[in-house]
Amino acid sequence: MSATVQTLEAIERPPVSMGSRLEGELLEVSMGPQHPSTHGVFRMNVALEGEVVRKLKPVFGYLHRNHEKLGENMSYLGSMPYTDRLDYFCSMTNNWAYALSVEKLAGIKVPERAEYLRVILAELTRLQNHASLLGFLLNDMGAWGTPLMYAFREREKILDLFESLSGSRMMCDYMRFGGCRCDTPPGWMERAKQIVDRFPHFIDDLEQLVVGNEVVIGRTQNVGILSPDLAINAGIAGPMLRASGVNYDIRKVDGYGFYPRFKFRIPLGEHGDTYDRLMMRVLEMRESLSILKQAFEQIQPGPIMNPKVKIRAFRPPVGEAYGRIEGPKGELGFYLISDGGQNPYRYRVRPPSFVNLTVLEDLCLGHTVADVMVILGSVDIVMGEVDR
């Protein structure tokens, strides 16, 4: 299962003949970085034989800002707003992953209400991420705008919730080590319940739009098949892994937060193709809704911050910790080494979409250029996180 990778330069090119094109000649195309379907400034160097992809090399770094170095030169708290900017669709889960790692590093307990709030916010984030991903994916397939606008309409309602809770739609910066920053404003929980109650209508609509649609089926079934063995070996995580039929969800395995208290199922794919990856998101949204409903019933008033945690001059003890959560895109981990100072000695982000791109070439080989866009869309990347 080793990588059969070669640099593009190493591809043997036949001598250029005047006039006629040789049969089997490879054409190098640089897709991106300015391309509407690459979900940001992502570039792929593709070698084509006619329409068929023979080689594909992803090129990263157009959005690189050395996030990890910034984190090492900043206090632990100072990195929290920067984590919002990693995967700017899911700032709440980024916050949680970072807070979880620091809590592991310093051995901090989180009050009950804060844990419930975190679960609620993470599942709302999953809803809006999956909804907009489906919109983008259908956009890539040529359903210009319509499903995307429906998805954004629903996403906007969730973002309004985030705004009234944390003050910002996307850059929430809401969680803190040992809890959350502020309690919910009056009426927030009722509004959230209302949105969650109405959300199934949107999923029904979307399912009607997608599931039986012949164009979607033609474009996605048997496209970009990922075998479970390769998926595990290549470190794929999240919905993409489960679409290949591997039953691994960190919410169940690690049982972080209060997830063991909720009843939910883990949807699994059968074929590992793009269609499965697409449907995985629809099914996960339904499970998220069920978690949310249980959380709304169980949450009780109480404190939301551990009073022992200092805001200023926070220094965790010497040591290291790796904390990870099941983000909407896959396993999001933070690896921190503390030397006892105010800044982390090492601050590492394990970005899910970056690692998920490892198999992009394997998925695309043998498919046409148009399929590359659909496969890339189903991987679900956000460049803020890939390039960091």
Partner 1 sequence: MESLEQIKARAERAVSGAQIAIVPNPGPAQQSSLLIDNEHAFAVARFLRDDPTLRLDFCSNVTGVDWLDRVVKKTVKMKRLVDGEEKEVDETTEEKIPGYLEAVYHLYSMTHKHGPVIIRIRTRDRGDGARLPSLTTIWRSAEFQEREIFDLYGVRFDGHPDLRRILMWDEFVDYPMRKDYREPDDYEWEPTPHDEVLEKAKRHYTQRPELDGAEKITAGGDALNR
Partner 2 sequence: MIGSGVLKGMAVTARNFVGSYFDKERLITVQYPEERNPLPENYRNFPFLLYDGDDPHAGLRCVACKICEKECPPQCIYIVKSDDKKPDYMGKPQFYPKVFDIDISVCMSCQICVEVCPFEAIKMDKDFELSRRERFEALLLRKEELSKSNDYYHKICPTDAPEVDAKLAEAAAKKKPAPAAAAPTPTSVPAA
What residues line the site for partner 2 (CB under 8 A)?
A: 74-75, 77-82, 146, 150, 153, 156-157, 160, 163-168, 171, 173, 181-182, 185, 198, 205, 208-217, 311-312
Give the three-state DSSP class for 47. strand
Per partner kind, with CB cut-offs from 5 to 8 A, the member of partner 1, partner 2, none near residue 183 is none
Closer Cβ to partner 2, 33 or 81, answer by number:
81
Q: Is residue 355 a contact point for partner 1 (CB under 8 A)? A: yes
Q: Is residue 325 a contact point for partner 1 (CB under 8 A)? A: no
- Dist. CA 317–CA 337, nearest whole Å: 10
Residue 340 DSSP label: S
Out of 309, 348, 374, 382, point to the residue binding partner 1 (CB under 8 A): 348
Q: 39-51 burial string, b = 16+ CB within 10 Å, else e?
A: bbbbbbbbbbeee
Subset of residues 303 to 322 that bind partner 1, contact rule: CB under 8 A: 316-322
Closer Cβ to partner 2, 251 or 281, answer by number:
281
Per partner kind, with CB cut-offs from 5 to 8 A, the member of partner 1, partner 2, none near residue 81 is partner 2
Q: Is residue 13 a contact point for partner 1 (CB under 8 A)? A: no
Q: What's the closest the beta carbon of residue 167 comes to partner 2, in angstroms?
A: 4
Per partner kind, with CB cut-offs from 5 to 8 A, the member of partner 1, partner 2, none near residue 4 is partner 1
Per partner kind, with CB cut-offs from 5 to 8 A, the member of partner 1, partner 2, none near residue 163 is partner 2
- Dist. CA 220–CA 222, nearest whole Å: 6
| CB neighbours of residue 119 within 10 Å | 24
Subset of residues 233 to 272 that bind partner 1, contact rule: CB under 8 A: 233-237, 246, 248, 253
Q: In what order do the strands lie in the sheet with 43-49?
A: 27-31, 43-49, 52-59
Q: Is residue 109 a contact point for partner 1 (CB under 8 A)? A: no
Q: What's the closest the beta carbon of residue 106 comes to partner 1, in angstroms?
A: 7
| H/E element, 54 | strand 52-59
How far the first Cα of the chain sits from its last, in Å, is 28
Q: Is residue 61 a contact point for partner 1 (CB under 8 A)? A: yes
Q: What's the closest the beta carbon of residue 92 comes to partner 2, in angstroms?
A: 15
CB 104 within 8 A of CB 177: no
Query: 3-class secondary structure for 33-81?
Result: CCCHHHCCCCEEEEEEECCEEEEEEEECCCCCCCHHHHHHCCCCHHHHH
Closer Cβ to partner 1, 4 or 20, answer by number:
4
Per partner kind, with CB cut-offs from 5 to 8 A, the member of partner 1, partner 2, none near residue 96 is none
Residue 316 DSSP label: P
Pairing type for strands 319-327 and 179-180 reads unpaired
